[in-house]
Amino acid sequence: MARILRVAAAQLGPNHLDTPREDILDRIIKLLQAAFQKGAQLVVFPETALTTFFPRYRLEDVPQSDQYFEDGSTLLTSARTRPIFDEAARLGLDVCLGFAEKSTEGGQRRQHNSCVYYSARRGDILAKYRKIHLPGTLQPFEDADAINQLEKLWFSPGDLGFTAFRAPGLIPNTTKLSVGGDGVNNNGNARDDSRGDPIMGMMICNDRRWAESWRCYGLQGAEVILCGYNTTAWAPDLCGKVEMQQTYEESEEESMFQHRLVMTANSYMNSCFSISAAKSGVEDGKYGLIRGSMIVSPDGYVLAEAKTKGDEVIFAELDLDDCLPGKSMVSLLSQAMTDYSP
């Protein structure tokens, strides 16, 4: 019997430093409603969905920066984020949402580039991921016109690992409803290969370019990878392309090519579906971000792709059992290698 999961990526157009939070919440809620109309059960939003991609700025250039951070423990109750989860609960939608997180675990303030998985069935946040691969430089470029990527300054590297988890209540008649009730990053029996709830893994933007992010999830049997991103269309200093004198258009095209390459190749190599959601368009009047939100099959085919650089929902119906041929080929291969004795 097929294990059908209906999913959406909610691409966001640009946010700006001065965009009021109410406007962003309003757009996110409209995207949730559009995804619901298409029949989605799960909606994936971009990295730092609630703000402009502020880590492109130097710390001193963003004096009121605390307003761009959320306390990860109050997402469901804070007026700054609650409307998203209230609407998701009302519509019965699971949501993956990227945001800049501030925490005071152990009495020390830390900042992370994070995302959470909200389960409508559970009415709670089921898992949290903190970005591990923080790209860019620690120091801004000397050239005042260069585009910076200063995530290493703004955030600490993620400390939650790549922890797969099962999302309950999405597939009818699972033989095993698996996830227990003990909260964030409960990865249940994600290593159990019995048929059951979908096995999910979350990563954020630059993580998708590194084989180990995917492989950590692949080895836990992940069936759907969720990945929000903000990928600059033009950053010659950052990409070591100053000498090449690439045009904006050439740079954007190359960036799109590489995004498609990592999403399709890694989905194929790990025999999993992937859903990537962009923040796209020009932020703060100057900083272009690529489009390309896409849903990819375990065979590496693009099932749906955004056509615009603005707010847009893409949708696909997945049969999670399509992951099985590739995954069982891997286990046959590893069995053959274990059996091999020269």
Q: Could you please report the per-residue DSSP string of 216-285?
A: HHHTTT-SEEEEEE--BS--TTTTT-TTTT--HHHHHHHHHHHHHHHHHHHHHHTT-EEEEEEB-EEETT
CB of 129 to ligand CDT, least distance (A): 13
Residues 6+ apart with CB under 8 A from 35: 8, 10, 43, 93, 313, 315
- CA 251, CA 248: separation in Å to the nearest integer? 5
Q: Please name the residues in contact with 123: beta carbons below 8 A apart, sequence gap of 6 or more.
A: 89
Binding site for ligand CDT (CB under 6 A): 47, 135, 149, 205-206, 209, 229-232, 235, 238-239
Q: 131 catalytic, yes or no?
A: yes
Specify the amino acid at residue 317.
E
User: Tokens representing 306?
Assistant: 């955004």
* The two structure tokens encoding residue 132: 């591990």
Query: Which residues have a Cβ under 8 Å from the Cβ of 194 and sit 6 or more positions away?
Result: 175, 176
Nearer to ligand CDT, 198 or 228 (CB): 228
Give yes or no: 105 in active site: no
Contact assessment for residue 199 and residue 223, using Cβ atoms and an 8 Å cutoff: yes
Contact 328, 316 (CB under 8 A): no
CB 306 within 8 A of CB 9: yes
Cα separation, 289 vs 96, whole angstroms: 20
CB of 124 to ligand CDT, least distance (A): 27
Nearest Cα neighbor of 203 from 253, 160, 167, 254 is 160
Q: Amino acid identity, residue 188?
A: G
Of these residues, 205, 216, 227, 323, which one is catalytic?
205
Kindly tell me which of 12 and 120 has the beta carbon lying closer to ligand CDT: 12
Nearer to ligand CDT, 159 or 193 (CB): 159
Residue type, 117: Y
Residue closer to ligand CDT by CB (options 11, 232) is 232
Closer to ligand CDT by Cβ: residue 34 or 256: 256
Task: Kindly name the residue from 87, 96, 128, 131 that is annotated as catalytic.
Answer: 131
Longest Cα–Cα distance of the chain, Å, equals: 66
The nearer residue to ligand CDT, 110 or 209, going by C-beta atoms, is: 209
Identify which of residues 206 and 293 has a Cβ nearer to ligand CDT in the complex: 206
**Residues classed as catalytic:** 47, 131, 205
